[in-house]
């Protein structure tokens, strides 16, 4: 919603006789949320619409108006001027015009055009939309804001600024003591909803008054209550003009709902629910999944839909399967361009998933890759269907109609782009330094931490999981340091660890009981050598202890012979599979998508759209509830893509819940705090951002701190503008209710944790807001949009492993020695699993053409706030981001930074603020929109 360079405001072409309107009814008084006593009669060639408005003296004022816009002689009356200096023929009143902008479909079918024509006609004759202006001043009789009502009548014969925007107008004769309008009540008399972009009121002395909306207006038949649209002036609760106080409270109450009943598509109700909709035991017992949320399996709350319970499990909510949509509040749904982009992604996934089945005569889903060239074919020509495959697919009746659609799409959708990780050097993934580089500049650069002491100890219960000591001993590590002592390496901050042992070990036996899944709990030690290169030097892979093997840990090192080389490659692949699962379920889904959802729900429920903090956060909430609902429907659900393609399988979301219980902490989601916690940075007042990185060449952290600092500076200046001191924060009733609800409802299972900020100072507020904005923008961008660039090449980042590493006393070991490549490839995901997850990663890494990036304002939403100082501060933020982009570009050319430059090394661009559409591997959207 915000812009790097302020874009031209949306102009309503309203002047002179553009709109042909009859004189409006006038008078103000008691406000009504429903339509105010309207009746109509039509006779002969022209009819009359009677508008009834309650006056301040409780007397009824009636004005008859011809529906065809002509006076009694049949001539068109002159349009009222929008200038404040124009005076009405009625003494003491001014002519005011409200211009409303409605967004139509961009790609219209014939039926849409017919419907638009009918709606345009109904609006033109005053039978479509009713507006009621509400003043900021109080009527002494009603003790509420003064009101005046009129119908939208007339349309513009001139082409609008955008072909998909229609403009209409309503004229008012407003008493001169009416005051400034602060809200508009809008009633939709049409049979269906419409999308309101905004309302601009002309005729008051202060110039055009903007009421930004970007909202769906429900039809009166669905809900008799009118919608409230506030002007673009920010008010703290205590500053709310007297005439708007009731409306401010009423609007918030209407959004919260009552927690009962099933939500309907047109509603804007925000409420909380457990994750009790992931399983489907009514369909299959094997699809039963535990409820997430509660003492046993804590989890953030999701948006409530209120669907009926499952027949076989009343604690679980019944499911809605594709293509039917899962409820989200109406304004959270994808707009048309986003819908088209996402639909194209689904089609691409469908095509990719069909190909392996076609190649296998539609009979098998467990075909492994037999050689690396089969993987290469995915990007060259392997997905282009041959004539015999087309004929074979068409012959299958179940797929006949589908394949007709497939084969008319064209070859482009049938071919994968070459992932960035192999686009410059197809063998880079084999090298140890590339494995380590991706821990700092890959898609999951948030797991690596410094290693400061030996022995490495587990925190799990030794009675269940065996002795806590790691097999990665000090002596063993010392052998891999090429003459440097372990003490020296620790002293010089040269040892690092990626430790998934405690998070995974409780799930290992469960995962290994699944068909075609084999996993270990892993620890990886990395060494930053004197040449300035980070490399893995030892990997520990553990299984839970058994009576025959109470010590079930093995350590692998690089070695120097061919056998050791291939085993080391398999050990790294197991680590990558673990990393892919933790990345997807914890660092990506839990720490961004799931944790952000309660912040969004609480913001709508507790902060009025007039509240300055609502206005600050609003662009960072776009599309998140919708993408999360789609994920619950198809990605993280029982039997969904995540379960099918990632190591944890059916235990995926239980693992995510365990991580929430053990590691998620709000205050540690701030980038500086996270870096310090992992030992990757130390506080240093003399360093930029007050932090000194332990590894200077850490692209995610280095670029991330630039983005974090820009966000923090913008937030601090914004908060300083609206809050004078700590008391103003503590006395803000909406703000305190918002923060209380986030802790005690949205993150209910963590409500008693001591680390929650108190929100009793401006500093607390700035930290909270910076964490939320960073999570929705920079953090999500860094760990999402690299999924296909890094994960699109399966050997580089397998999402699961299907075989254990063969041991010398096992029959498989001889087969491994004879054909190590076959052993390696058959350990990777099958062709079907690989292409399925590649298609999903491709979709999730794609920017929609309507994406709104950090520091940008959508052209149609330019009037988001009426405050010159705030716009100036935002302009500084936008300029800062432009400067950051230049800094990152220069860093990517610095030959000293080996994790960004060098032969075949892709630059680190995931935190470049801007991007075009598509899979670009760069760009920071304002919100979690994919």
Tokens linked to 564: 């050791």
Six-digit token string for 26: 């006038």
Q: Distance between the two ends of the chain, CA-based, in angstroms?
A: 16
Q: Let me know if 218 is a catalytic residue.
A: no
- Average pLDDT of the segment spanning 233-242: 97
784 is catalytic: yes
Is 588 one of the annotated active-site residues of the chain?
yes
Q: How far is CA 918 from the centre of its chain?
A: 16
pLDDT tens figures, 163-175: 788 888 999 999 9
53-97 residue pLDDT tens: 333 333 333 333 333 333 333 322 333 333 333 334 446 899 999
pLDDT value at position 462? 95
Please check whether residue 520 is in contact with residue 430, taking contact to mean a CB–CB distance below 8 angstroms.
no
Q: Choose the catalytic residue: 202, 574, 588, 847.
A: 588
Q: Tens digit of pLDDT for each residue in 538-555?
A: 999 999 999 988 889 999
The residue behind tokens 């607390």 is 764
Phi and psi, residue 63, nearest 5°: -135, 125
Task: Using pLDDT thresholds of 50, 70 and 90, give the confidence band for residue 410.
Answer: very low
List the catalytic residue out of 186, 269, 711, 930: 930
842/886: higher pLDDT: 886
32-36, 139-143, 293-297, 524-528: which range is least confident on average? 32-36
Over residues 698-708, the pLDDT tens digits come to: 999 999 999 99
Token readout for 739 is 């923060």
Q: Which has the higher per-residue pLDDT, 506 or 355?
A: 506
pLDDT at residue 850 in the model: 87
Q: Which residues pair with 684 in a beta bridge?
A: none
Euclidean distance between CA atoms 924 and 781, whole angstroms = 5
Q: Is the pLDDT of residue 660 over 70?
A: yes
Active site includes 482?
A: no
Full-model pTM: 0.87
Q: Which of 20, 202, 689, 780 is catalytic?
A: 780
Active site (annotated) includes residue 747: no
Give tens-digit pLDDT for 890-924. 999 999 999 999 999 999 999 999 999 989 999 99
Output the six-digit token pair for 915: 């991007």
Q: CB of 838 within 8 A of CB of 794?
A: yes
Instruction: List the structure tokens of 721.
Output: 């503008």
List the catalytic residue out of 20, 202, 593, 861. 593
Query: CA separation (Å) from 249 to 211, 241, 357, 606, 614?
Result: 18, 12, 57, 10, 15
What confidence tens digit (pLDDT) does each residue in 458-511 have? 999 999 999 999 999 999 999 999 899 999 999 999 999 999 999 999 999 999
Q: pLDDT: is 127 or 617 the higher one?
A: 617
Give residue 629's pLDDT: 95
* pLDDT attached to residue 42: 27
Given the residues 578, 628, 784, 926, the one annotated as active site: 784
Which phi and psi angles does 532 have, rounded to 5°?
A: 80, 25
What are the residue ranges of helices labelled H in 745-830?
A: 762-774, 780-784, 787-791, 812-818, 820-827
Residues 376/429, Cβ–Cβ less than 8 Å: no
Which residues sit opposite 243 in a β-bridge? none
Six-digit token string for 859: 């052209």
Question: What is residue 611's three-state secondary structure?
Answer: coil
Q: Which two tokens stand for residue 90?
A: 């009625």
């Amino acid at each position: 919603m915000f812009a790097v360079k302020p874009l031209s405001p949306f102009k309503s072409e309203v002047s002179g006789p553009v709109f042909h309107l009859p004189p409006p009814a006038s008078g103000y008084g008691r406000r009504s949320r429903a339509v105010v006593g309207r009746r109509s009669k039509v006779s002969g060639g022209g009819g009359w619409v009677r508008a009834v408005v309650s006056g301040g003296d409780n007397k009824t004022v009636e004005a008859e108006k011809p529906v065809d816009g002509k006076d009694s002689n049949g001539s068109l009356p002159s349009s009222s001027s929008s200038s404040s200096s124009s005076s009405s023929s009625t003494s003491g009143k001014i002519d005011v015009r409200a211009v409303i902008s409605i967004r139509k479909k961009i790609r219209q079918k014939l039926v849409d055009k017919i419907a638009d024509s009918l709606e345009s006609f109904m609006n033109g004759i005053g039978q479509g939309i009713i507006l009621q202006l509400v003043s900021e001043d109080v009527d002494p009789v009603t003790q509420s804001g003064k009101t005046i009502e009129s119908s939208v009548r007339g349309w513009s014969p001139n082409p609008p600024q955008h072909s998909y925007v229609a403009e209409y107008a309503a004229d008012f004769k407003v008493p001169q003591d009416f005051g400034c309008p602060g809200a508009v009540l809008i009633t939709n008399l049409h049979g269906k909803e419409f999308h309101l972009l905004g309302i601009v009121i002309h005729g008051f002395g202060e110039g055009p008054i903007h009421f930004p909306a970007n909202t769906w207006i429900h039809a009166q038949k669905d809900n008799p209550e009118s919608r409230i649209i506030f002007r673009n002036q920010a008010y703290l609760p205590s500053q709310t003009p007297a005439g708007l106080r009731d409306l401010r409270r009423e609007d918030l109450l209407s959004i919260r709902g009552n927690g009962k009943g099933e939500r309907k598509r047109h509603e804007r109700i925000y409420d909380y629910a457990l994750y009790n909709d992931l399983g489907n035991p009514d369909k299959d017992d094997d699809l039963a999944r535990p409820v997430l949320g509660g003492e046993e399996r804590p989890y953030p709350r999701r948006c409530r839909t209120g669907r009926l319970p499952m027949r076989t499990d009343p604690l679980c909510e019944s499911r809605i399967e594709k293509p039917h949509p899962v409820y989200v509040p109406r304004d959270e749904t994808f707009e048309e361009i986003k819908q088209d982009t996402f639909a194209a992604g689904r089609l691409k996934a469908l095509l990719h998933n069909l190909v392996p089945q076609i190649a296998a005569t539609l009979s098998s889903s467990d075909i492994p890759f037999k050689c690396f060239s089969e993987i290469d074919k995915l990007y060259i020509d392997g997905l282009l269907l041959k004539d015999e495959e087309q004929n074979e697919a068409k012959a299958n009746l179940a797929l006949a109609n589908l394949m007709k659609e497939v084969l008319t799409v064209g070859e482009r959708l049938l071919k994968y782009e070459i992932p960035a990780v192999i686009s410059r050097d197809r063998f880079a993934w084999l090298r140890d330094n590339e494995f380590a580089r991706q821990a700092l500049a890959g898609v999951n650069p948030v797991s690596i931490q410094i290693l400061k002491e030996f022995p490495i100890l587990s925190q799990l219960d030794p009675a269940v999981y065996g002795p806590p000591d790691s097999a990665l001993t000090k002596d063993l590590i010392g052998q891999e340091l090429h003459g440097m002592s372990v003490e020296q390496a620790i002293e010089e901050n040269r040892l690092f660890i990626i430790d998934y042992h405690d998070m995974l070990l409780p799930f290992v036996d469960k995962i290994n009981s699944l068909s075609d899944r084999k996993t270990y709990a892993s620890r990886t030690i990395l060494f930053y050598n004197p040449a300035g290169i980070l490399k893995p030097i030892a990997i520990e892979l553990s299984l839970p202890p058994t009576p025959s093997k109470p010590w079930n840990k093995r350590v692998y090192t690089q070695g120097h012979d061919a056998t050791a080389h291939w085993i080391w490659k398999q050990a790294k692949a197991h680590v990558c599979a673990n990393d892919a699962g933790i990345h997807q379920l914890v660092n990506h889904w839990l720490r961004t998508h799931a944790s952000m959802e309660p912040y969004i729900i609480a913001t709508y429920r507790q902060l009025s759209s007039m509240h300055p903090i609502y206005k600050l956060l609003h662009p960072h909430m776009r599309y998140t509830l919708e993408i999360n609902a789609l994920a619950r429907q198809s990605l993280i659900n029982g039997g969904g893509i995540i379960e099918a393609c990632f190591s944890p399988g059916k235990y995926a979301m239980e693992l995510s819940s365990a991580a929430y219980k053990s590691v998620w902490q709000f205050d540690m989601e701030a980038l500086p705090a996270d870096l310090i916690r992992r030992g990757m940075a130390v506080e240093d007042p003399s360093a930029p951002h007050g932090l000194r990185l332990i590894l200077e060449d850490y692209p995610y952290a280095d670029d991330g701190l630039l983005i974090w600092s820009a966000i923090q500076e913008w937030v601090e200046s914004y908060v300083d503008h609206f809050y004078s001191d700590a008391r103003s924060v503590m006395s803000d009733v909406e703000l305190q209710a918002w923060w209380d609800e986030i802790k005690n409802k949205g993150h209910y299972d963590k409500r008693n944790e001591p680390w929650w900020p108190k929100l009793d100072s401006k500093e607390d507020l700035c930290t909270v807001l910076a964490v939320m904005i960073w999570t929705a923008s920079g953090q999500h961008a860094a760990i999402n949009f690299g999924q296909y660039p890094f994960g699109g090449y399966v050997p580089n980042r397998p999402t699961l492993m299907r075989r254990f590493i063969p041991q010398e006393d096992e029959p498989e070991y001889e087969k491994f020695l004879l054909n190590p490549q076959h052993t390696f490839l058959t350990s990777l995901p099958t062709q079907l699993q690989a292409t399925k997850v590649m298609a999903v990663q491709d979709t999730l890494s794609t920017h929609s053409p309507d994406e709104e990036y950090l520091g940008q304002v959508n052209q149609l939403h330019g009037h988001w706030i009426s405050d010159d100082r705030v716009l100036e501060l935002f302009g500084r933020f936008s300029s800062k981001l432009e400067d950051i982009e230049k800094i990152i570009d220069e860093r990517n050319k610095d030959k000293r930074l080996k994790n960004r430059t060098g032969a075949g090394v892709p630059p680190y661009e995931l935190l470049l603020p801007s991007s075009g559409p598509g899979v670009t591997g760069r760009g920071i959207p304002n919100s979690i929109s994919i």
